Structure 1
């Protein structure tokens, strides 16, 4: 498979490996060692199943999920419910989560280059503005290939950084293999398992994948290329997450020192494994932050344009306006250190409801007659059923966390 054939799968990998994933995987490794690696392995398999169905719908129908929602949900109440959920979870949610993406990239840059301020503009921390400007330039280009190349480069950079750090920490190979293939649930680990799966299997990636795949591959005969792209890119993203978890397990599990964030992990690696490990982790954190800071607004624009019937062209005014607003909100939140708790709560609730709804909707779409021979077979339906149950579990945990 040629490099030019890669793209949408790398966008998905770049999207789910953000600062939130780095933090979650770091805390999982520090608190439970290698024991929860199986949860990441499961989450990658679940992600592959759902994302394959999404890209198949995109390539065969030549429309994103937003457009398919509009066309297949004809009842006003069901369509309105779906639109409200997508808006709350994907558009509003990504606006506030964007602050975390920019903050993560800024922490990585600060670890590499030191603090950056623009006192004349009243900015004590100007890194979020700089990172936001880079993301803005990439998205404003309106070139799908440029966006793909940039994100493929960031995924490769994350791979080198996080896997390099993993190698420097000299992990326990037997413990790692046991954690991967022998599931266990240490005391107090339930919510961490849910978080690990939830950072990989996320609703907005389904919109991102379907729309970007429909733009890149225009005929059913190209479906195999799209599937190969997904099969190579998404497991690479999972490998990066596993490397972060294993690094934290090697460095902190069973030790007195603790970590509260990915920045703590980067800073604490130097006395244990040398300055190289600290710099590699900082590079990885920067790449994770800026990749998610680019893909989150892009996914939101695809989702909103589709469900509202707007143009999905990368250079259209409505498309650019959507991702620009989300990016701007993220810059403000990150630069000012704002913690919009109530809005995050709303997004968490909406995400908790949207994931099983989206999983069920894609499952339904992939069994519709208009897909012809590309409908789900029995095996795919059984796997989709398992993922549906998992998504309901995630939904329940997310809603419980939000309300209790």
Structure 2
């Protein structure tokens, strides 16, 4: 049991960095607008996320070199630079949203401006980089934040008193309500996070670097992803039970907290804001770690958190995100468009690289993909390309900036 709990670290970190303020907003909107009817998409997104995360885990265990090292070996330096640089740009562009989420959550709790809290918690995030062993600290913080979120959302779940027959129907009867398509795409694209799955291979290798004796032990990457699905489901159910019957719309995660107060009192609102803080702060640290690590590896500095250049790049993501959050108070539309543009092109490339590296017996040895994973990861890869095409159409043909 102790060894199993210890093996959860990398999967928990991935779940924590994927479940950020934007995920909280999307899941709240799904439940508020469409009730329990879209719970089934959580199962679909989590299934494919689990497939790709377990694939990345095996890559991390099977190879001495990093994933970008394997990409460089197969396709050349240009491919690793494209992946590392692309991920750095995406994480830096979206980091402001995590800073804003932290600031608003604490600001709402204490009825103050978000700006001082944005500064404080980014400084705390940067200070963590000065620990001699950053990875164990990151693992402990992420596990703590996941449990803070779980306590917050599970308590809200029991307050909400949802309809369990409707929950069962939502999970087992796929339906696509009119007008829900774009929200479904946004949820699947954010929950089935290829960048999060990719980072799993780095987390595993960092863990093995610190404790080489665990290389041959089984690592549980799926439990963390299941927890991600549980949190997404709980928020959808809470919104379906509380907001949907009253016709209350949600445009941000704090709207959900504000809606809880008149119904259940200030305690419920406070508890949900604590959950929002956990989601935002975990993503703030995790997102920056992804961007800094991948760019450091692409530039030839390696991927270890012990390397000063990697820590500097992680801090750079935090500083840029905090600066944008303080200056604009929200993500500027132009920056969102830029980040989405890079994401559309880089995510299918990352998914393809993961798939073909994991299928390469020369690299993977006995941990090469089996038939089951090849088939369903192939379907997941097809889904990634479909999502990219839909997002391309929405971004460049239905976006007011391009009209």
Q: TM-score, normalised on structure 1?
A: 0.92
Alignment gaps of 5+ in structure 1? 117-123
How far apart in 2 are the matches of 1:144 and 1:256?
44
Three-state SS of the structure 2 residue aligned to 1:254 is: helix
Which residue does 2:44 correspond to in 1? Answer: 42
Superposed CA offset, 1:44-77 (max 9, x none):
1111000111111111103332222222213xxx
242 and 139 in structure 1: CA distance in 2 versus 1, 3 angstrom threshold? farther
Q: Is it true that 1:365 corresponds to 2:357 in the alignment?
A: yes
| Cα shift at 1:207 | 3.3
Over aligned residues, Cα RMSD in angstroms? 1.9
402 and 22 in structure 1: CA distance in 2 versus 1, 3 angstrom threshold? same
Which residue does 1:115 correspond to in 2? Answer: 112
How far apart in 2 are the matches of 1:8 and 1:245?
25
Superposed CA offset, 1:119-172 (max 9, x none):
xxxxx7211101111211223324211110011100111111112111211111
Superposed CA offset, 1:318-369 (max 9, x none):
1012111110011111112253332321221221222222222111111112
| Cα shift at 1:17 | 0.5
How far apart in 2 are the matches of 1:86 and 1:400?
25
| Cα shift at 1:10 | 0.8
Which residue does 2:261 correspond to in 1? Answer: 270
Alignment gaps of 5+ in structure 2? 398-403
| Cα shift at 1:220 | 10
How far apart in 1 are the matches of 2:348 and 2:248?
38
Which residue does 2:123 correspond to in 1? Answer: 133
Which residue does 1:51 correspond to in 2? Answer: 53
Aligned residue among 279, 284, 292 for 1:288: 279
How far apart in 1 are the matches of 2:6 and 2:310?
25
Aligned residue among 78, 94, 97 for 1:97: 94
How far apart in 2 are the matches of 1:10 and 1:260?
27
339 and 367 in structure 1: CA distance in 2 versus 1, 3 angstrom threshold? closer
- Tell me, yes or no, if the aligned pair for 2:292 and 2:317 is still in contact at 8 Å: no
Summarize the alignment of residues 5-20 of structure 1 with structure 2, pairs less than 5 Å apart.
Answer: 5-20=7-22
Which residue does 1:184 correspond to in 2? Answer: 175
332 and 250 in structure 1: CA distance in 2 versus 1, 3 angstrom threshold? same
Q: Is it true that 1:380 corresponds to 2:365 in the alignment?
A: no
How far apart in 1 are the matches of 2:157 and 2:181?
25
Q: TM-score, normalised on structure 2?
A: 0.92
Further displaced range: 263-272 or 201-210 = 201-210
Q: Is it true that 1:87 corresponds to 2:80 in the alignment?
A: no
| Cα shift at 1:20 | 0.5
How far apart in 2 are the matches of 1:224 and 1:249?
41
How far apart in 1 are the matches of 2:178 and 2:332?
31
| Cα shift at 1:223 | 5.6
Superposed CA offset, 1:281-338 (max 9, x none):
1000000000000001101122112222213221322101211111001111111225
How far apart in 2 are the matches of 1:220 and 1:211?
17
Summarize the alignment of residues 144-223 of structure 1 with structure 2, pairs less than 5 Å apart.
Answer: 144-217=135-208, 222=215
Which residue does 1:389 correspond to in 2? Answer: 382
| Cα shift at 1:217 | 3.1
Count of equivalent residues: 390
Summarize the alignment of residues 346-361 of structure 1 with structure 2, pairs less than 5 Å apart.
Answer: 346-361=338-353
Three-state SS of the structure 2 residue aligned to 1:179 is: helix
How far apart in 2 are the matches of 1:215 and 1:62?
11
224 and 178 in structure 1: CA distance in 2 versus 1, 3 angstrom threshold? farther
289 and 155 in structure 1: CA distance in 2 versus 1, 3 angstrom threshold? same
Superposed CA offset, 1:241-276 (max 9, x none):
111111111111132332211111101111112222
| Cα shift at 1:183 | 0.9
223 and 198 in structure 1: CA distance in 2 versus 1, 3 angstrom threshold? farther
| Cα shift at 1:401 | 2.2
